[in-house]
Amino acid sequence: MTKRTLLVPLALLTACGTGADTRPDTRPSPSVTVVGDTAFLELPVGRSADNGEITVAFDAVTEDSRCPGDVQCLWAGNAGIRLALTGGDEAEVVIVNSTLDPRQVSFAGYTIGYRDLRPYPVSDQPTDRGEYVATIAVIGALR
């Protein structure tokens, strides 16, 4: 059986924007790291990555109740991120979480899941929603 790298073309990342804002975009660029059959996407909020078969877009943080790093908590809390997934004739908007279900979803033959969300909360410093960068795992990179 011949295997081909499916997510290597993710190096040709497509950055999405609204087009209406003329200010320079200072968000970090999306990046991809492939380990085995898993691609780890680091996507700033509002950005997407595409490999010609599927597109994964990090739309928003839906919840960030994670325990701040400078506080001791009884529960770790949860981070939820909304992803827009498209591929072929399929399109789906999903929420994946750090500690609650679902932590990952199946889409177009891939398993796509939450891995990390930065910055990590600090008790006396609110996080600007535009600063978030999600690490998303796309499993099934090699077929």
Q: Angle at Cα 97 formed by Cα 122 and Cα 136, nearest 5°?
A: 90
Q: Does the bond joining 119 to the residue before it have cis omega, within 30 degrees of 0? A: yes
- Each residue of 80-93: b (16+ CB within 10 Å) or e? bbbbbbbbeeeeee
Q: What pLDDT, in 10s, does the model give residues 1-35?
A: 333 334 344 433 344 444 455 666 666 789 999 99
Q: Which residues contact 53 (CB under 8 A, 6 or more apart)?
A: 6, 87, 88, 108
Q: Is residue 39 part of a domain?
A: yes
Euclidean distance between CA atoms 45 and 131, whole angstroms: 7
Q: What is the pLDDT of residue 17?
A: 45
Enclosing domain of residue 98: 28-139
CATH of the domain at 61: 2.60.98
Q: Is residue 123 part of a domain?
A: yes
Q: Is residue 47 part of a domain?
A: yes
Contact between 135 and 115 under an 8 Å Cβ cutoff? The reply is: yes
Euclidean distance between CA atoms 94 and 83, whole angstroms: 5
Q: Is residue 82 part of a domain?
A: yes
Q: Which residues contact 7 (CB under 8 A, 6 or more apart)?
A: 32, 34, 39, 51, 138, 141
Q: What pLDDT, in 10s, does the model give residues 40-85?
A: 999 999 999 988 899 999 999 999 999 999 999 999 999 999 999 9
Q: Is residue 33 part of a domain?
A: yes
Longest CA–CA separation in the chain, Å: 55
Q: What is the pLDDT of residue 86?
A: 97
pTM for this structure? 0.80
Q: Is residue 60 part of a domain?
A: yes
Q: What is the pLDDT of residue 14?
A: 42
Contact between 134 and 43 under an 8 Å Cβ cutoff? The reply is: yes
Contact between 65 and 78 under an 8 Å Cβ cutoff? The reply is: yes
Q: Is residue 15 part of a domain?
A: no
Q: What is the pLDDT of residue 40?
A: 96
Query: How many domains are contained in the chain?
Result: 1
Q: What pLDDT, in 10s, does the model give residues 83-141?
A: 999 998 999 999 999 999 999 999 999 999 999 999 999 999 999 999 999 999 999 85
Q: What is the pLDDT of residue 51?
A: 86
